[in-house]
């Protein structure tokens, strides 16, 4: 029987590629989005993938939304916590609001997404948790003290869940994309972006599909011995 996958932030950027790749691999897929109704409607029209609107930063909304997905499609076997935002500023200019927004969405949002799904995975004896972290959680980044802190937090989160879920057939892993050609990276000033690309040995930005293929592998039954790992997909820009 086809498994069910939930992808947060799954209608745009890396998330859209993940949703599509999981669908192509035979999963029933639900994609969430927080605000862009137009992009979500277009995504559903083009892919046939159902979208659900809630804010990952809101625990109650996440719990309610997840219950609806499970009622509509079935128990969630694979959860991809992908939703994330940037509010870049050098630390001396970073406001408490910029810190809080990023932490609430990128880190607390991961808790909010996985926590309501976890008991069902434990009961059924199977689960795949994939968290989309970032190269900047591994190496830090100028103007991203908030974002880098959350993305580093993801790595501790999956390592802990890996230990708790192993006996129940659940794995938890993180993927650290490097700079991928999405709206988020295109929002970086062109001069800064060019300088970043010059630091990538592969000589180009990554494609969202290159991250999506990692997710499909980690979601599969075949990846059961990979648990608590971090997969870096960054064109050789940074090694851990």
Dihedral of alpha carbons 8, 9, 12, 18, sign:
negative
Nearer to ligand CAA, 86 or 227 (CB): 86
Tell me how far, at minimum, the Cβ of 151 lies from ligand CAA, in Å.
7
Among 39, 184, 231, 233, binds ligand CAA (CB under 6 A): 184
Number of chain positions touching ligand CAA (CB under 6 A): 19
Task: Measure the CA–CA gap between 112 and 109, rounded to whole angstroms.
Answer: 5
Task: Measure the CA–CA gap between 62 and 127, rounded to whole angstroms.
Answer: 18
Direct distance between the N- and C-terminal alpha carbons of the chain, in angstroms, rounded to an integer: 38
Q: Is 14 helix (H, G, I), strand (E, B) or coil?
A: helix
150 is an interface residue for ligand CAA by CB under 6 A: no
Q: Choose the stretch contacting ligand CAA; rule: CB under 6 A; options: 44-52, 70-78, 152-160, 181-189.
A: 181-189
Site for ligand CAA in 110-149 (CB under 6 A): 134-136, 141-144, 147
**Is 147 one of the annotated active-site residues of the chain?**
yes
Beta strands in the chain (DSSP E): 4-7, 28-33, 50-53, 78-81, 127-132, 170-177, 230-233
What is the pattern of x (binds ligand CAA, CB under 6 A) and - over residues 77-116?
---------x-xxx--x-----------------------
The alpha carbon of residue 11 and the mean position of all alpha carbons in its chain are separated, in whole angstroms, by 12
Radius of gyration (Cα) for the chain, nearest Å? 17
The catalytically annotated residue of 27, 33, 52, 147 is 147
User: Which residues lie near ligand CAA (CB under 6 A)?
Assistant: 86, 88-90, 93, 134-136, 141-144, 147, 179, 184-185, 188-189, 192
Active centre residues (catalytic): 147
């Amino acid at each position: 029987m086809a498994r069910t996958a939930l992808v947060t932030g799954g209608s745009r950027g890396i998330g859209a590629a993940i949703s599509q790749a999981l669908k192509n691999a035979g999963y029933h897929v639900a994609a969430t989005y927080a605000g862009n109704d137009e992009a979500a409607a277009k995504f559903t029209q083009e892919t046939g993938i159902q979208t659900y609107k809630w804010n990952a930063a809101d625990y109650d909304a996440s719990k309610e939304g997840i219950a609806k997905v499970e009622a509509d499609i079935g128990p969630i076997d694979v959860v991809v916590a992908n939703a994330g935002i940037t509010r870049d500023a050098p630390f001396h200019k970073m406001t408490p609001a910029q810190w809080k927004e990023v932490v609430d969405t990128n880190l607390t949002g991961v808790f909010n997404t996985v926590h309501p799904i976890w008991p069902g995975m434990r009961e059924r004896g199977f689960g795949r948790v994939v968290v989309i972290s970032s190269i900047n959680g591994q190496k830090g980044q100028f103007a991203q003290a908030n974002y880098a802190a959350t993305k580093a937090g993801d790595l501790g989160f999956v390592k802990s869940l890996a230990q708790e879920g192993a006996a129940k057939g659940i794995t938890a892993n993180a993927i650290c994309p490097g700079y991928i050609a999405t709206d988020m990276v295109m929002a970086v000033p062109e001069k800064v972006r060019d300088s970043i690309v010059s630091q990538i040995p592969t000589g180009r930005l990554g494609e969202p599909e290159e991250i999506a293929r990692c997710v499909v592998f980690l979601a599969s039954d075949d990846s059961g011995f990979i648990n608590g790992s971090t997969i870096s997909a960054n064109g050789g820009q940074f090694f851990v």
